[in-house]
Structure 1
Amino acid sequence: MNTIHPRWKSSCMTLIYFTFPYYSIVLHFFPLKQMPVGVPKVPFRAPGDEDANWVDLYNRLYRERLLFLAQDINHEIANQLMGLMVYLSAEDANKDMFSFLNCPGGSVIPGVGIFDVMQIIVPDVHTICMGVAASMGSFILIGGEITKRIALPHARVMIHQPASTYYDGPAADFHNESKHVTMLRDYITKCYIERTGTPGEVIQRDLNRDVFMSATEAQAYGIVDAVAEG
C-alpha cells in the first residue's frame, strides 16, 4: 500500500506525496506557525525569502504543476484549468504536468476544451484517476499522454456518449443543436478509438450506453496505461 513517509531535512520537511509505477511526486513543506482557520492552507517559502507564508492549498499544488479536477466540469473550472495549463506550458515547456481527476462528468463543451488544450501544449500531461472519472471525466482521462495515464486501485471509470442537454436554447433550435451533438459524438468516438486502441465497433457500441469499469478493466480497455500499486 502506498504510504506517506515524512522526514525532516535541514529546515524543511520532505513529504513523498505518491509513489506511482514510474515516478514519485515529492513536495517540500516548511515549518511555520499554526495554520489560520478557514480555507485549507499550506506553508510555502518563495526563493530568497527567509520565512514561509500560508498559501491556498491549490495554489501551492499549482506551483508544483499538480492540477486537480474534483467536481463536475463547467465553464468556470474549465477556464481555470485551461489557463493554468497554458501558463505552465509557457513557463517551462520541458516540465510535465500532473492532472488528478475525481470527476463525475459535467458539460461537454468545456470538457472538450480541456481535452484539446492538453493536446496542444508542449509538456506531457499525466492523468491520474482517483475516485471516479465518469462521462467527460473519462474523456479527459484518456487525454493524458499515452503511457502516462494512471488509475488508483479502487478508482472507477464510466464512459458514454454526450447528451444533448449541453445546449440551452429555444425549441426551434433543436435541429441545429442535434447537428452539433452529432459532430461532438463523432469527435469523441474518434478520440476514444485513437487513444485507447480498442476497436471502433466496440467503442461505438459501448458509448451508446453507460459502461462502468474498475481500474484494471479500464487498463485492459486502454483508457489508462497502468494501475497504481495498492
Structure 2
Amino acid sequence: MAIATRTDTSLAATISQTTLVNALLTAFANAGFSSPFDNYTSGTDRILVYKVDVDASKTFGSNYLRIRITSALQVLQQIMAGWNTSTKAATNASTEVSMGSLSTSSLIQFVALSGGNEYKFISLTQGTVFMLLGILMPENRPSWWDLNAWTWGFIFTSTTLLALRSSSKFPYTVSEYEFLSSTRMGIANPQTNRRDIFAGNILLTSSNAGGAGKTSDDICLACGNGGSRYDTLSFPGDTKQYLLINNTSAGLAVRIQ
C-alpha cells in the first residue's frame, strides 16, 4: 500500500538552468528520493542520477533514474540498470524521453508525491506545460519476474501517463508498456456527480504478450475528463481520498488519504 505524502513547492521567474536544477533537487527529496547518486555537468547539460532499490541483494534489484536538464530548460529522463560514477556510463539504459521544455519567464509549480516503495513522482506544471518525473515500481510483480535477470521499475513516456518504459533489461521483446485503460473512463457519473475510479492499474507489455504486473489499489485511473488537475476525489461513506494528477479520460490518480 502506498498512500502518498504530498509536498508543494514553486520556482518564480526569472528561471535559469541553475535555479531549475536546485528546485528539482528539492522536489526529488520531497518525493522520497535519497541524495543524488551522481550530480554533474556534461557540456552545457546538468545531470542528476538517482538510485532506487527494489531488492539490492539481487543482480538487477536497483533502478537508476537519470534526469538531464539542458541550457534551454528541456527536461529529459531515462531509466537504467546501472550507473558508473567515474565514467558516467550507464548499463542497460532505456531510450531517453523528452518530457518537455520550460520557459524562463513563468512560475513553475512542483507537486512531489512520495508513495513509499511503490512510486516517487514529481508533477511539474508551468502554464499549459505538464510533465511527470520519477519512477513507478508496481506493488504486484509477477512471481516469475526474476530480479537476478531483469529490473523492476518504469518511467512515463508521455503526458497521457498511460505509456511507460523500463530499462533495457526486460523479459519481453520490447521495453514499452501501457496501463489497461479505456476512453469510456471519461466524465463524472451523472447519478452521483462524482468521478468513478478504477483501482489497481494493470500493466501490459506492448509486445502483446499479456500482463506485466499490477499496482496497489492506492494507484488508479479515474474518469477525469472535465475535471481540474489536482482535484481531490472522494466518495460518500468512504474515508479514502485520491489526487487527480491527469484531468483526462483514464486519468492517473493516487491515494492521499
Q: TM-score, normalised by structure 2?
A: 0.24
Q: Which has the higher helix share?
A: 1
Q: Which has the higher strand share?
A: 2
Largest Rg, 1 or 2: 1
